[in-house]
Structure 1
């Protein structure tokens, strides 16, 4: 497979929020015996993280490589990102894709999401919406919030999958519960209007607009203010019915 070196601007867009993972990340569970066998690799990964945070990239790269070869998923992902970014080594897109796919196939959600994004955007690997959706959904099913929002968008517009507003809403709601701001606004809109998917529920709509507004969404704050005004008008006493003294 032929790969291309990313322009720096494209790389920054792709890897926004997807740099090295230096702490815990969601992964598919592995059997206890396997986990025990990988304990040395985990210790090596922890050591690599320490060296990376200390700015010792060459040492970290070598330790991530060794741990990756021993099957540690975090090391596989971080080694892939260092190869892709050219940290401690000349950039190696082919090697990066190899180790990213290994981590994704082993069930690491962040690797699955980044791999999906690569296929979605056509960076490093050939553009493939079906492959992107496959990996988005794998990560989404394990609770990766960005992947949940991404696959929701695909079902909403029918991109690579049949258009399905109900399935889209289900994924948007999961992402919203995970704190994704755009999804919170979209879920609020669903509950406000229904769109033939959910029963309109203004209280739930107000709740989700409020959550989005609390994260700084100006449009959500505007919707919340308008709904609060409408509610105040509905519940205000009718002055025309006041008793005459």
Structure 2
């Protein structure tokens, strides 16, 4: 009975929010009650403009408003509003919205925790070819989240996710590899490069400790066998100010090795070294080429950096509209990209701006 009352209360609240979609709040922008509260911030006009488009049924704007509500940038988010916008877009067959709504139900963020419904949204997005949803759906089947466990289905969806080429989806473990997350040390000692990669940060007490010597040891073993993710992580270690570890020449060589294997993170990190002038012969054209390879795989940091290049006209013609598109690609993962996207969002027509 208590659960039934809780769900009834949730339904009423959700209905109340939806019923207020067209209700103005008295501000001159006419923003409705579902619009996230950015009043008094530098993003206010952009949010108001997006909300108007979203209210008119623009599903891309609905996703963007949902992201803005979910994260709220440096303040507490409004995940209930985010779920409302994602559902509006999802009902228009937007795969990003389906995936995002699935993540909210799967984690109970802003909505009642409902792993079954989360899995259902992952199914819908996965069937539309969304690689991140395919990866999450594989995990659901492998672990029995939101329904029965099915290793065959898990293998099917992880294969589809990895075949997509998406950077994040490719990192999804298949059921047979999930044992690595439990205790990778036996397989690491036996020479498995993937297990060695996980062993670099493995602690039996599950508490993170920045043991740079341990990380260097295991990343080096894995990288030495040509495992690109380990090459990248070892390279990043060499770019940081860890005691006695910084070595940009080694880092560039490792990033180059990973990039040559098509690793999106390696391509991004090598491009970044070129743009920062931290390689022997910085090459702007090579940096742009590496970034374009990385963004093609959906790596969010590369998308953000590409957006920055277009904002500043570095190596490309300055184009703020193109920059905004790149920030939009990154916004699914990167809150900073969402912020940059909002700053580039047109705040309405000239007549409205002059009021």
What stretches of structure 2 of length at least 5 have no aligned partner? Answer: 1-165, 172-176, 178-187
Distance 1:90 1:157 in 2: 33
Q: Is this contact kept in 2: 1:79–1:96, CA < 8 A?
A: yes
TM-score by length of 2: 0.40
TM-score by length of 1: 0.55
Show the counterpart of 1:120. 275
Show the counterpart of 1:234. none
Q: Is this contact kept in 2: 1:28–1:142, CA < 8 A?
A: no
Show the counterpart of 1:192. 348
Show the counterpart of 2:303. 148
The structure-2 alpha-carbon separation of the partners of 1:153 and 1:133, relative to structure 1 and needing over 3 Å to count, comes to same
Matching residue within 195, 199, 202 for 1:47: 199
Show the counterpart of 1:236. none
The structure-2 alpha-carbon separation of the partners of 1:27 and 1:76, relative to structure 1 and needing over 3 Å to count, comes to farther
**Once the two structures are superposed, what CA deviation does each residue of 1:87-117 show, in whole Å capped at 9, x if it has no partner?**
4755332222111211233233333222222
Matching of residue 132 in structure 1 with residue 284 in structure 2: no
Show the counterpart of 1:18. none
The structure-2 alpha-carbon separation of the partners of 1:70 and 1:161, relative to structure 1 and needing over 3 Å to count, comes to same
Instruction: For residue 67 of structure 1, report the CA deviation from its aligned partner.
Output: 0.4
User: What is the count of residue pairs matched by the alignment?
Assistant: 170
Show the counterpart of 1:21. none
Structure 2 counterpart SS, 1:131: helix
Distance 2:264 2:308 in 1: 18
What stretches of structure 1 of length at least 5 have no aligned partner? Answer: 1-24, 31-35, 195-199, 203-225, 231-245
Matching residue within 327, 338, 342 for 1:181: 338
| RMSD of aligned Cα (Å) | 3.8
Report which structure shows greater RCO (CA 8 Å, sep ≥6).
1
